[in-house]
Structure 1
Amino acid sequence: MIPTTAKARATAFCERFGLRLPILLAPMAGASPARLAAAVASAGGMGALGALNTTPEGIADWARAVRAQSNGAFQINLWIPDPPPVRDAAREGAMAEFLSGYGPRPPIPDGPLLPNFAEQCHAMIEAGPAVISSIMGIFPADVVEAAKARGIAWFATATTVAEAREAVAAGADAVVAQGAEAGGHRGAFDHATAEHQLVGGLALIPRFADALDVPVIATGGIGDARGIAAALTLGASAVQIGTGYLRCPEAAVHPAWSAAIAASEPEGTMTTRVFSGRLGRGIANEVARTAPPAAAYPIQRGLFAPIRAAAEKANNPEAMQMWAGQSARLATEEPAGALTERLWREAAALLP
C-alpha cells in the first residue's frame, strides 16, 4: 500500500530502497561520471550511470569507482534496443551534407554503433547496484529474473499510462514518470510515437499515482525545492533530477554547455532528433533548428558524433549536443552533495 501523504510516501520509498532522502540522479549517458554519482549517493540520494554507450568492462569499472568513493546506493540504466534500423541512403546522404557545414563531412556509419546489449545486461547485474533501470521499453524477462534473484530492484521509465502499466505487469518495482519537460531523450517505447506523447508532468504524475500500485518517481522540469515538493504533492514518492546536476563541478560538462544551461529560459529548449535519431530535448541551437529530417537511430548518432566532437573542440555551441530540460535556468554550480542536501531540506520545509 502506497502511503497517502507526501512525506510518508517519501519516507517509505527511502526505507525500501536504502536512501536517506528521495532524490535520484538521472542516469545521463555521457554525463554520469563516478564522482557525480558518488556525491549524490553520499548525500543520501541515489547515484546513477546512463550505460547506453558503456562497455561491459566500463560498467564494472564505473561501479568500482563509485564504491571507492561512497557506500551509498546507485542505479545503472540501459536503453532497450530498437529493432534494426531501416536504412535510407538518400536521407543519410542529405544529413551528412548538412552536417558538413559544421565540420568535416561525416562518413556514413557501417557496422555496430553500440555495445552488445546482452553483455551489458550481464555486466550491469554483476555490478550489483541497488537498482537497474530501463528506458525505451522493458527489460527481457530473464534480465528481470536475474536481477531480482540478486535482490536488485527495477525502475522502468514511462511516458504514458499504457507504458507504465506494461512495465508494472512485467515486474517493475517503481515507475519513473518522464514528463515532456525533461531534458535528454524521450523514453517512448515506440520511437515513432515520441512526438505525439509529450505529456507534461503536471498531468502525468497524478495519473500514474492513481493508476499504479507501485511507487512513482517524477522526472522532468524538477529543478528546485518547489518542483520536488510539487511532484511529491501530486503523488510521487521520489524525484529524479538530471539537468539540475549538470552545472555541478563533479559533472564536468563542457563550459559552453554549462553556460547555455545557465542562460536558458523555459522556452529556450526544443525537441529534436538531430543528435541521435531518437527524439530528445536540448538547448535550441542552430544545428537543431535547421537540420533536415534525421536518419534512423543509431545511424544518426554515428553521423553526428564527429560533428559533436569538432564543435566541442572549437567551442562552438551552435553545433554542440547540449541536452537540457525546461527548468535548466534553475541549475546551480553547487557541489552535488551540498545541492542534494539543500534541495531536500528546502523541499521538506514546503511539505505539510
Structure 2
Amino acid sequence: MSSWPDTRILDLLGIELPIIQAPMAGATTAAMVIAANQAGALGSMPAAALSVEQLREALTSIRQAGSQPLNVNFFCHQPPEADAARDRRWKELLEPYYRELGADFDAPTPVSNRAPFNEAACQVVEAFRPEVVSFHFGLPEKSLLDRVKASGAKVLSSATTVEEAIWLEQHGCDAIIAMGLEAGGHRGMFLSDDLNTQIGLFALVPQIVDAVSVPVIAAGGIGDARGIVAAFALGASAVQIGTAYLFTPEATVSASHRHALRHAQASETALTNLFTGRPARGIVNRVMRELGPINPKAPAFPLAGGALMPLKAKDESGFSNLWSGQALRLGRETSAYELTRSLAEQALAKLG
C-alpha cells in the first residue's frame, strides 16, 4: 500500500502501514503481534505484566515468525512506598464483598504487581534488539534510556498533554503517542495526576503536532477508517489502535470481558483507579458503580488490585478490570491480520 499523506512514521520505523497495534498488557499475545506485523503494521508486545522469562519466550516466537519491525512496551512508574494503613483501609472497604461472596477476608492479601523498566528489562532489549521500544508513564532514567537508544531502537512514549509531549521530545523520544482521553487502559499521564485537565484526542493531536518537531501518533477513540483519516487531517503521521484488537481471536480476554465488549454501550466506559491504583478506562461494572470509579482509598499503583483478586475469582465480571476505549462499538470480530489490512484499505480509499 502507498499514497499515505504522511510517511514519516513509515520511514522512521520501517513499516508498511501507519498503524501501531497497541500493547495491551494481559490481552496482547505473541500471535496478535505476529499477525499485525505480517499485515504491515507495527506489532507491539507489552512487557509490564510479564516476567523476564515470559518476555524472552514471547520475543523469541515473534522473531522466529518473521523479520518485520517489532515494538516492545514497558512501564516507567516508580514502585510505591509501603503503606500498611492504606492497604488495610482499602481491604476493609471491600470486606462486605468478601462476606457476600464467601472469600476469605483474613487470608494474606495477594500481591498485584507491574514491573517497571529496569536493568533486567534493558538486558532483554539489548539481547533481542527490537526496532522500537515504547514507554508508558514517561521515560526511564537516562542511563537506561541511553542503552536502549544505543541498541538501535527508536523510542516512543505516550503524552496526554502538550506539556508531556514537549518533555518527551526534549528527553529523546523519536516520536510521540498523543493519547486522547478516549483511550482504553491506563492513562499515560506522568507530569500531572489531575484527571480534570486531560484532553480529548481531537483537541490534543493538532496542539502536540504544533508543539513538537517529531512525528505524532494518534491514540484514543480510533476504531475504524474514519478515525484514521481524521487523525491524518489533524496532523498525525500514524495511529495506535487498541480496543479494536480486543475483538480478535488473538486477544486473551476473559469470557466476561469479551461479553462486555460485545454488549456494553458506547457510554458505558469510565476512568477508574480501583483495579490498579492508576486511572485507566474500562467498561463500568459492579464494583465501579458501587464504590465510584475513582476512589481515594485505592492504594498506589500497582497495589490496588491485590485485594480484588479473591473477589474476581468469585465474580469475574463484577470485580475485574474490563479495559476498553470509548470506540468499543466500532469493534468487529475478525482476525488481527484482516482487521489491520481492512483498516488500511478503507482508510486509503477515503483518503482518495
TM-score normalized by the length of structure 2 = 0.90
Query: Quick one: distance in 2 between partners of 1:259 and 1:323?
Result: 12
Cα contact 1:266–1:328 (8 A) shared by 2 = yes
Distance in 2, matches of 1:149 and 1:137, equals: 19
> Structure 1 residue 123 and structure 2 residue 120: aligned?
no
2:56 to 54, 60, 63: 60
Matched, 1:267 2:267: yes
Query: How is 1:125-164 mapped onto 2 (pairs within 5 angstroms)?
Result: 125-164=126-165
Measure how far apart 1:261 and its partner are: 1.2
> Aligned equivalents of 2:153 and 2:289: distance in 1?
41
Aligned-residue RMSD, C-alpha:
2.1
The number of equivalent residue pairs is 341
Partner of residue 34, structure 1 = 30
Alignment check: 8 A CA contact 1:19 1:44 kept: yes
1:62 to 1:89, Cα distance in 2 relative to 1, 3 A: closer
Gaps of 5+ in 1: 1-5
Distance 2:127 2:64 in 1: 17
Distance 1:98 1:46, change over 3 A: farther
Corresponding residue for residue 43 of structure 1: 39
**Does residue 311 in structure 1 map to residue 315 in structure 2?**
yes
* Residues 60 and 211 (structure 1), Cα distance of their counterparts in 2 relative to 1, 3 Å cut: same
Q: Give the drift of 1:116.
A: 6.5
Contact (CA 8 Å) 1:228, 1:239: kept in 2 or not? Answer: yes
Q: Secondary structure at the match of 1:297?
A: coil
User: Given the alignment of the two structures, is residue 92 of structure 1 paired with residue 90 of structure 2, yes or no?
Assistant: yes
Alignment-derived partner of residue 281 in structure 1 = 281
Deviations 1:151-207, CA, capped at 9 Å, x for gaps = 1010011101111111111100001001000010111105732x2232100000111
Q: 1:25 touches 1:48 (CA, 8 Å); kept in 2?
A: yes
Give the aligned residue type for 1:97. Answer: E
- 1:3 is aligned to none
- Change beyond 3 A, Cα 1:184–1:297: same
Distance 1:42 1:102, change over 3 A: farther
The answer on whether the counterparts of 2:312 and 2:318 sit within 8 Å (CA) in structure 1 is no
- Deviation, 1:250, is 0.9
* 1:112–1:234 distance in 2 versus 1, CA, 3 Å: closer
Residues 224-268 of structure 1: CA distance to partner in whole angstroms, max 9, x if unpaired? 000111011111111011111001011132222122112222211
TM-score (norm 1): 0.90
- Percent identical among aligned pairs is 36
Equivalent residue letter for 1:344: A
- Determine if contact 1:184/1:325 at 8 Å carries over to the other structure: yes
- 2:24 corresponds to 1:25: no
Distance (Å, rounded) in 1 between the aligned partners of 2:213 and 2:191: 24
Query: Structure 2: how far apart are the matches of 1:91 and 1:198?
Result: 29
Aligned to 2:175: 174
Query: Residue in 1 aligned with 2:336?
Result: 336
